[in-house]
């Protein structure tokens, strides 16, 4: 069965620190990859997505993610975080042959001011 693994459930950083959140998936075929963000008390919003092409994807608010097919990974990065980045981040994968998004468990990111 397909699965998505987010390595860290909680991450605490200081402002201006660099961020990398891990995401690995288990599926051998062609995939669409997503990162969603959920700010406290709000709904999920799309941060960035990869369907095809350049494996380095840039999203909103300075976030980027790199798809490494050989490692089945789609890690999220930001060079310098801000207090307003405090949120929960979800990685999701969708096989081209399937409608269903497989969700990771989420990573709660806390940025200390």
Partner 1 sequence: DAGVIQSPRHEVTEMGQEVTLRCKLISGHNSLFWYRQTMMRGLELLIYFNNNVPIDDSGMPEDRFSAKMPNASFSTLKIQPSEPRDSAVYFCASSLAGGRETQYFGPGTRLLVL
Q: Please pick, from the candidates 42, 80, 82, 84, the single residue that binds partner 1 as defined by CB under 8 A.
A: 42
- How far is it, in rounded angstroms, from Cα 28 to Cα 47? 24
* Closer Cβ to partner 1, 27 or 106, answer by number: 106
Residue located via tokens 């995401």: 23
Beta-carbon contacts of residue 39 (< 8 Å; ≥ 6 apart)? 45, 86, 87
Q: Does 103 bind partner 1 (CB under 8 A)?
A: yes
> What are the phi and psi torsion angles at 22 (to 5°)?
-85, 145
Beta-carbon contacts of residue 26 (< 8 Å; ≥ 6 apart)? 2, 3, 4, 5, 72
- Applying CB under 8 A, the span of 15-23, 29-37, 56-64, 75-83 interacting with partner 1 comes to 29-37
Q: What is the DSSP letter of 79?
A: S
- Please choose, from the candidates 94, 111, 4, 91, the residue with its C-alpha nearest in 3D space to the C-alpha of residue 48: 91
**Binding letters toward partner 1, positions 70-99, x by CB under 8 A:** --------------------x---x-x-xx
Q: Please pick, from the candidates 32, 72, 73, 86, the single residue that binds partner 1 as defined by CB under 8 A.
A: 32
- Applying CB under 8 A, the span of 12-20, 36-44, 57-65, 74-82 interacting with partner 1 comes to 36-44
Site residues (vs partner 1, CB under 8 A): 32, 34, 36, 42-46, 49, 90, 94, 96, 98-101, 103, 105-106
């Amino acid at each position: 069965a397909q699965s998505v693994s987010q390595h860290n459930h909680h991450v605490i950083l200081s402002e201006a620190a660099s961020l990398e959140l891990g995401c690995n998936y288990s599926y051998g075929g062609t995939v669409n990859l997503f990162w969603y963000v959920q700010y406290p008390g709000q709904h999920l919003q799309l941060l960035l997505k990869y369907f095809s092409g350049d494996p380095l994807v840039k999203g909103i608010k300075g976030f980027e993610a790199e798809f490494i097919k050989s490692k089945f990974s789609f890690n999220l990065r930001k060079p310098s975080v801000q207090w307003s980045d405090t949120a929960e981040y979800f990685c999701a994968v969708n096989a081209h042959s399937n409608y269903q998004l497989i969700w990771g468990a989420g990573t709660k990111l806390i940025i200390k001011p």
